[in-house]
A and B are shown apart, each in its own frame.
Chain A
Amino acid sequence: MPRVVLGRLLTLVLSLAGASVLIFLVVQALPGDLAQVMLGERATPAQIEALRERLGLNRPWVVRYLDWVGDMVRGDLGTSALSGLRVTDLVAGPIRVTGWLVLWSTLGSILVALPLGMWSALRRRHWDGFAVNALSQFGMAVPAFLAGILLVLVVAVRWGWLPANGYVPLARDPGEWARHLVLPVVSLVLVQGALLVRYVRSAFVEVLTEDHITTARSVGWTKLAALWRHGMRQAGLSLVTVLGLQVASLFVGAIVVENVFVLPGLGSMVLRAVVQRDFIVVQSVVMLLVVAVLVVNTVVDLLQAVLDPRIRAKEQR
């Protein structure tokens, strides 16, 4: 097991290094010049050149890359050229908004999908199991932003039960905080949960037809007990992978939903920074998202090694 952990951590570090180069190069390739944006339309070439020099934009890209990475390793995400604020301070608020959104949506989809998916697998030859399956197909086809807009129209505008948009920090008013998060979370859960139902269903259908479940029943477990004792871990093995991918796609989905509900999250922050050509902000925030996704993937890999002795055995060789 220690070797597995070491291997996965090494992979994580390498992926992070690769991702940082890629992000840096893509941001460099974006059209537009920060100095131009800062000084406006009527700036002279000499003024722009002087500002470029002062911002360090004229140094070779390798130097600027190493500079950026070195700062990040020390916990410094850089300073926004436009506002003069440190990026670490800038992201402090938005990271909480996006974090809550992803956390609650993940928990919500698991809570919805696990029982529904199991039900639909166990009752797959009956009308109710079939109905769950058909509904999840429908849920998957609806984009999160459309679900969000519809929810706002009905629940917020027509019925006026919940706020249509905006955000209140948890520390200021927990009640309002929760009320503002309900609709964004629900619209993400509708889509992610529907997708997850299908994965849960197929994972359990597969487990149910395994020979060793029949063996377990032949020695005296009831059908449900056999599934619980000998099927859960196996189903969990494939579901953990899917969940990891879902958390990753939730970060992307959250950006869209943040826009619909006007939430001050990381998504809206990146969009604003791109428009303003505030490259260091774009670079660092995108890097933060990538770190989150890669860490989740590493955790998934490690969980699988914990759950499955065959994976551990393969690593030992």
Chain B
Amino acid sequence: MSALLEVRDLSVRFGRHRTLAVDRVSLTLDEGDRLGLVGESGSGKSVTALAVLGLLPETATVTGSVRWQGREILGLPDRELAKLRGQEFSMVFQEPMTALDPLMKAGRQVAEVLGLHRGMARGASRPLVLEMLAAVGLADPVRIADSYPHQLSGGQRQRVLMAMALVNRPDLVVCDEPTTALDVTVQARVLATLDERLDDAGAACLFISHDLAVVSQVCARVAVLRHGRLVEQGTTAQVLGAPQRPYTRGLVAVASLEHAEPGSRLPLVDDFARDGGAS
């Protein structure tokens, strides 16, 4: 039996000068797997995720292989990929402020996803939409469904986005820093909800974050990216507890500042990975 998602030697280049954003990255996710993708900003985490879903702008050149349940989906026409997106795999985005259509009520945006894949009329999907909004932890689903995005808080919008991504019970949910734009208390609650819903659906998750604490909360396995290259991969306990690579050690050290001595200089990632590129 083949893996749910199998990425082999994925490389992404941008623009005329062919800047390499992702360099021969390989990942595997089985059903129900939770893989965290960590790294500094600009390390190629989001680009990797967008490449898997085929959502990169047309300036990007993608090579390698992305297999979904054994079927090659890289280079598939937009029309074919669109059938899979939202149905078999979906994505929760980073910016709740801009990721929703500002001119459409929240409930209708969720209903659209149902209508799109199940051919459900808007009236028929309403109970399902309200149920989904409640399931992602929104206390007053009727009011939320009839609100425009600008009438909702950041946390509420993020939950609406989650509802859109989860409503068709996809097998894989890609989460691109889903809690980064939220404040810490809201972040914890949204993460807990996400955790529950993924468990419920038995969905696999590719979780992108620069925040090691968040990743260790959600994911069983972690992959570390640096300059578009996979540096280290393993279980969360292995990678964050006993990092093998100097770069990963640096990431862990700067994330756990409780060990820093007051008055002394704070650690930098570069203290650990001085060699720049190949670590």
Interface residues in chain A, defined as those with a beta carbon under 8 Å from any beta carbon in chain B: 125, 210-212, 214-223, 225, 229-230, 233-234, 237, 307-310, 313
Contacts and interface: CB of A to CB of B under 8 A. Distances in A.
A309 B148 contact: yes
Given A125-B58, A309-B148, A310-B148, A218 B102 contact: no
Interface of B: 53, 55, 58-59, 78-79, 82-87, 90-91, 93, 95, 98-104, 112-113, 116-117, 148, 150-151, 161, 164-165
Chain B binding surface, main DSSP class: mixed
B82 A220 contact: yes
B95 A220 contact: no
B117 to A, nearest CB: 6
A210 B90 CA distance: 18
B206 to A, nearest CB: 13
A223 B78 contact: yes
Contact of A212 (B82, B102, B117): B102
A218 B98 contact: no
B104 A214 contact: no
A308 B82 CA distance: 28
A313 B117 CA distance: 33
B112 A219 contact: yes
Contacts of B85: 217-220
A305 B161 CA distance: 26
Given A220-B86, A220-B117, A229-B112, A211 B99 contact: yes
A313 B149 CA distance: 12
A308 B148 CA distance: 10
B261 to A, nearest CB: 42
B164 A215 contact: yes
Contacts of A215: 93, 99-101, 161, 164
A307 to B, nearest CB: 7
B82 A217 contact: yes
Contacts of B150: 309-310, 313
Contacts of A233: 103
A307 B116 contact: no
Contacts of B113: 219-220
